[in-house]
Amino acid sequence: MRGNFVCGELTCTGCGACIDACPFHALEMAEVGPCGEPAPNVDFAKCRECGRCHAVCPAYTPIELRTPLKTYASWSSEPSDVTFSSSGGLATALARSVIADGGIVFGTASIGGEARCITVEQEGGLESLRGSKYVYSNSAGAYRSVKKLLAEGRKVLFVSAPCQIAALRAIAGDSSEGLISVDLICHGAPPIAFLREHLNSKVEGAWDAFSFRGENDFRMCAYRDGELVFDEPCFEDEYFSAFITGVIHRDACYECPYACNQRAGDITLGDFWGLDMSTLGAMPPGKVSVVLCNTQKGADVLAKLPSSVYLEEREFSEADNEEQTNLHEPSARTGDRQRFIKAYEQVGFDSAVHKTWAWRRFRLRVLKHKVMGLVGR
């Protein structure tokens, strides 16, 4: 082991597999380094060097990735899915179907000022899982729970980033028919420390939850006890601009082995960027998801979706395009990244973002839209 990292600072994704696998409870997730990157903290007083953490670590023992069998353009026509989902609402539709079949869903929710993997067993609880979180999600403990549920004969749907799906498969194995894994096309996962500092500077008083979606639009929102206490357009927000331009990901994200054509889950979901909408056989009510079916198990699950879900088969090459870069390569570590990190240690998050070219381009775009709006009146 190297310090706090089981697999090395530049390869650790913070997936948490090592924490769940340790029989001596010698590991816990901690924020380390100047950027507060989540990493397993080793208690050497408890560690017996059994090697179990290395055995399940996807960086040490990579899982076998899967070649997509079919590609779909898809969306849910349920009104709430159209309004509040980040993309076409497929994650919610899949979760609803699994719960109706007596299963349990694992997904990411904003709780207690962080993104955390939680379980949902009732359809009413799916609201907390809606929308992309655009930040690192702590899944430690979830894999152990999944393994226990599978042993009890329960059906489980697990929706997360590819690195965490790899961790899930390392812990729970691939033999269970009851496990359905869904990986998301991931742009990167910034440490929660960045978002925490950003919202603390914006919100008067405490906040305990966040989201990046308003009604039919991207918004940077913060909540206190369910009440909205901060709300601004994402494209005017420092955190969102730094995320979307790849400035603030954790180091491992820039070398991500899962940002490729081969996938970790039974199903892959994402935005269908670059799709020629005029070629679709039906008109979507909102955004369109790309759905990659990677296993026969995934195909069986998709076949059970209700008629409110539209699935149209497309060519994989339509999904793997210049706009959907994370289907063939990780987000790039740009000069802005180095500029941000250097400034962050001196002036803090928002001021460091202001020193990047990405922020300046965002501000120019916002100004252009405002001017065009005035001209059009």
What band does 276 get if pLDDT is binned at 50, 70 and 90?
Answer: very high
- The confidence score (pLDDT) of residue 260 equals 97
Q: Does 361 or 21 have the greater pLDDT score?
A: 21
**Same domain, yes or no: 224 and 292:** no
pLDDT of 99 > 70? The answer is yes
pLDDT of 377 > 50? The answer is no
Lowest mean pLDDT among 7-21, 335-349, 358-372: 358-372
**Same domain, yes or no: 180 and 285:** yes
pLDDT of 376 > 70? The answer is no
What band does 371 get if pLDDT is binned at 50, 70 and 90?
Answer: low
Is residue 122 assigned to a domain? yes
Cα separation, 109 vs 130, in Å, equals 8
Q: Which two tokens stand for residue 186?
A: 């991931």
Is residue 54 assigned to a domain? no
Sole residue written with tokens 């570590």: 333
Cα separation, 141 vs 307, in Å, equals 35
Cα separation, 15 vs 10, in Å, equals 13
Per-residue pLDDT tens digits for 304-354: 999 999 999 999 999 999 999 999 999 999 999 999 999 999 999 999 999
- Residue 163 CB burial class (10 angstroms; 0-12, 13-18, ≥19): buried
Q: Does 216 or 258 have the greater pLDDT score?
A: 258
**Same domain, yes or no: 177 and 141:** yes
**Same domain, yes or no: 339 and 300:** no
**Same domain, yes or no: 210 and 359:** yes
Is residue 8 assigned to a domain? no
Is residue 31 assigned to a domain? no
- The confidence score (pLDDT) of residue 363 equals 76
**Same domain, yes or no: 113 and 168:** yes
Q: Does 239 or 364 have the greater pLDDT score?
A: 239
Query: Is 247 in contact with 358 (CB distance < 8 Å)?
Result: yes
Q: What is the mean pLDDT of residues 11-34?
A: 92
The whole-chain average pLDDT of the chain stands at 91
**Same domain, yes or no: 121 and 224:** no
- The confidence score (pLDDT) of residue 1 equals 43
Per-residue pLDDT tens digits for 259-271: 999 999 999 999 9
Lowest mean pLDDT among 133-137, 276-280, 373-377: 373-377
- The confidence score (pLDDT) of residue 140 equals 83
Task: Report the predicted TM-score, pTM, of the whole model to 2 decimal places.
Answer: 0.93
325 three-class SS = helix
Q: Does 133 or 1 have the greater pLDDT score?
A: 133
What is the Cα Rg of the chain in Å? 20
- Share above pLDDT 90 across residues of the chain, in percent, rounded to a whole number: 79
Is residue 363 assigned to a domain? yes
Pairing label, strands 104-111, 156-160:
parallel
- The confidence score (pLDDT) of residue 132 equals 86
Is residue 112 assigned to a domain? yes
Is residue 36 assigned to a domain? no
Q: What is the mean pLDDT of residues 151-166?
A: 97
Pairing label, strands 37-42, 70-76:
unpaired
- The confidence score (pLDDT) of residue 2 equals 42
- The confidence score (pLDDT) of residue 303 equals 96
**Same domain, yes or no: 82 and 162:** yes
**Same domain, yes or no: 211 and 170:** no
**Same domain, yes or no: 317 and 203:** no
Query: Is 277 in contact with 205 (CB distance < 8 Å)?
Result: no
Is residue 123 assigned to a domain? yes
pLDDT of 103 > 50? The answer is yes
Instruction: State the angle between helix axes of 357-375 and 335-347 in degrees (0 to 180), rounded to the nearest 10.
Output: 100
Per-residue pLDDT tens digits for 171-195: 999 888 899 999 999 999 999 999 9
Residue 228, domain extent:
192-247+334-375
Which residue stretches of 162-217 are H helix? 162-172, 192-202
**Same domain, yes or no: 214 and 355:** yes
Per-residue pLDDT tens digits for 199-213: 999 999 999 999 987
- The confidence score (pLDDT) of residue 33 equals 86
Cα separation, 31 vs 210, in Å, equals 20
- The confidence score (pLDDT) of residue 199 equals 97
**Same domain, yes or no: 363 and 238:** yes
Which residue stretches of the chain are H helix? 17-21, 52-56, 79-84, 90-100, 142-151, 162-172, 192-202, 238-244, 296-303, 316-319, 335-347, 349-354, 357-375
**What's the number of domains the chain is made of?**
2
- The confidence score (pLDDT) of residue 258 equals 97
